[in-house]
């Protein structure tokens, strides 16, 4: 009698994670690159089996109830998770001095018209996604030029002379008046870390900058892996134009 090859699927392995009853993780598949949501997590077919691509992804939680943030002032460290569901930003959410807002990989943020997140000079944002689970800032109404303001983006952060600057990586910002604002650039200040992001479909600039001194150095955002698509402009000058 011919022996069939034995396939051993071990749940809890680095690429499988835990496998609840009925999970597709570790199950055979044929279409390379096919993706499917299983709860909050995103699975991808590698041509043989479904593997966990991300423990939480925006496309997998977009139907959950929204968590509203209405004109909040964040005065202590706070984390917005992906698994909590879409975060609805209404009004101006301010990150105060010495506080850090951490936005987890895969999180989905929907912004109402004229809404935005803004730090003070000593506040911080860490919006750090991954290539597999980027963070998404988008308009609640689906229209371009919706959130932000004439002199601000949907996410607004400062260069700092002391302390750690904000970090924005693997984040998509789309459909704002401006995508994001970076303020306070000068030769004496460390700019925020802004790399591997996508700014798209914003009415004006993908990144709006202002400077505290004439001729302040503006980071080379293209060289840092940031991508710009279908914005009114890519990066403004020091005077915001």
Q: What pLDDT, on the 0 to 100 scale, is given for residue 20?
A: 58
d(CA 138, CA 210): 23
Tokens encoding 141: 């109404």
When computed from its CA atoms, the radius of gyration of the chain, rounded to whole angstroms, is: 20
241 residues of the chain, pLDDT tens digit each: 444 343 334 444 444 445 556 899 999 999 999 999 999 999 999 999 999 999 999 999 999 999 999 998 999 999 999 999 999 999 999 999 999 999 999 999 999 999 999 999 999 999 999 999 999 999 999 999 999 999 999 999 999 999 999 999 999 999 999 999 999 999 999 999 999 999 999 999 999 999 999 889 999 999 999 999 999 999 999 988 8
The owner of tokens 């955002």 is 221
What is the per-residue pLDDT for 199?
99
Residue pair 19/11 in contact by the 8 Å Cβ criterion: yes
């Amino acid at each position: 009698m011919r022996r069939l090859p034995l396939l051993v699927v071990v749940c809890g392995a680095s690429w499988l994670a835990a496998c609840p009853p009925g999970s597709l993780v570790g199950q055979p598949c044929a279409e390379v690159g096919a993706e499917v949501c299983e709860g909050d997590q995103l699975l991808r077919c590698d041509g043989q089996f479904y593997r966990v691509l991300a423990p939480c992804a925006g496309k997998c939680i977009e139907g959950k109830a929204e968590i509203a943030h209405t004109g909040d002032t964040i005065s202590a460290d706070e984390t917005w998770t992906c698994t909590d569901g879409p975060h609805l930003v209404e009004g101006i959410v301010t990150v105060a001095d010495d506080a850090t807002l951490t936005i987890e990989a895969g999180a989905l943020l929907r912004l109402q018209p004229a809404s935005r997140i803004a730090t003070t000079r000593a506040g911080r944002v860490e919006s750090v996604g991954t290539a597999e689970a980027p963070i998404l800032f988008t308009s609640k109404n689906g229209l371009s030029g919706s959130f932000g303001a004439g002199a601000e983006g949907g996410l607004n952060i400062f260069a700092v002379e002391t302390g750690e600057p904000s970090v924005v990586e693997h984040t998509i910002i789309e459909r704002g008046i401006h995508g994001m604002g970076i303020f306070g650039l000068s030769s004496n200040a460390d700019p925020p870390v802004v790399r591997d992001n996508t700014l798209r479909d914003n009415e004006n600039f993908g990144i709006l900058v202002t400077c505290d001194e004439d001729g302040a150095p503006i980071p080379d955002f293209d060289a840092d892996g940031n991508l710009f698509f279908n914005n009114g402009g890519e990066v403004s000058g020091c005077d915001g134009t």
